[in-house]
Amino acid sequence: MRTLTKLGIGMLAVIVLLSCAWMYHTHSLYEETYRSEYRYEVTVRTDSVLHNVTFYVPLPVSEEESKIGSEIIAKNASIPAGWDCEIVETEHGNMLKIHAEGITPDRNTPPVPLPEDECGPDAIPCLDQIYTPEWVSAMVHADREINTKNPAGNEPMLSPKYNLVRSVYRMPHPEDWTPPACYEYESCIYANYTASPDAEVLIHAELTGANSWWVYGWSGNEYMDRVGVMLTGAQDGWCAASGNLVAGEGRY
């Protein structure tokens, strides 16, 4: 009996030691790989040639400053050839100005589709042309944990924002899981260029603030702030844009 008791105590001690070692190991991985960063991207996609192009696009701002904007101006960012970027003061606050003498669509021809008699009933039709967007992108590392659950007032946000209202998170999720907080709002983008009357131009700005770590697989949490507008024909002035904010997405 005493032998069995000692054996049981010994096995329990081994299990406790292994559990402690595993917890220490996984916590070390968490601490060593933990990182926080902001990513900002402005995308422009067009199906026609644009001439003498100028855009004013919402910029990530916190306490009236934009670290990401400063990185772009310092050219610590990915900027297409022929694009000039600067921060300008407008009636809607500081925004990112993008200027280019011209933007030519990059057309990618999709693969040749199969004959109709070889396609199944669920086949997706191919587009005649696929237009590849061009973009400005920058990333800034944070020296602290980003408040991804409550970014408003605590983190950089795209500006300007008007008429911010709560919206419903529409992605499927388990009933016992708290969905991210979602908001919709109005914003604006300035566009000035000449183009054919039927030219379609998509302008999209996106900011992501994310915390991530690796413990035998990447995990993390984030907030995402997006503004976009689709324009047709030549433009010369401010355009109403729609915005969307999702906060508290991921693991905590």
For residue 167, the one-letter residue type is: S
Query: Which residue in this structure is represented by tokens 């934009």?
Result: 66
Nearest to 37 by CA among 140, 106, 144: 140
Query: What is the pLDDT at residue 7?
Result: 55
Q: What is the pLDDT of residues 223-233, one digit of tens each?
A: 999 999 999 99
Query: Which residue in this structure is represented by tokens 């054919």?
Result: 196
DSSP reduced 3-state for 19: helix
Give the helix/strand (H/E) hosting 82: none
Query: What is the pLDDT at residue 229?
Result: 98
245: which strand partners?
A: 183, 225
Nearest to 106 by CA among 172, 27, 44, 186: 44
**Separation CA 188–CA 157 (nearest Å):** 14
Asked if 209 and 223 count as a contact pair (C-beta separation under 8 A), the reply is: yes
List Cβ neighbours of 46 (8 Å cut-off, separation of 6 or more): 103, 105, 131, 195, 199, 200, 201, 202
DSSP reduced 3-state for 10: helix
Q: Which residues, given as ranges, of the chain have pLDDT below 70?
A: 1-30, 108-129, 173-177, 217
DSSP state of 59: E
Query: pTM value?
Result: 0.81
On the question of a cis peptide bond just before residue 160, with omega within 30 degrees of 0, the verdict is yes
Q: Which two tokens stand for residue 85?
A: 């970027």
Q: What is the pLDDT of residues 10-20, one digit of tens each?
A: 555 545 554 55
**Separation CA 125–CA 135 (nearest Å):** 27
**Which residue ranges make up each domain of the chain?**
36-107+128-250
Query: What is the pLDDT at residue 216?
Result: 77
Asked if 101 and 82 count as a contact pair (C-beta separation under 8 A), the reply is: yes
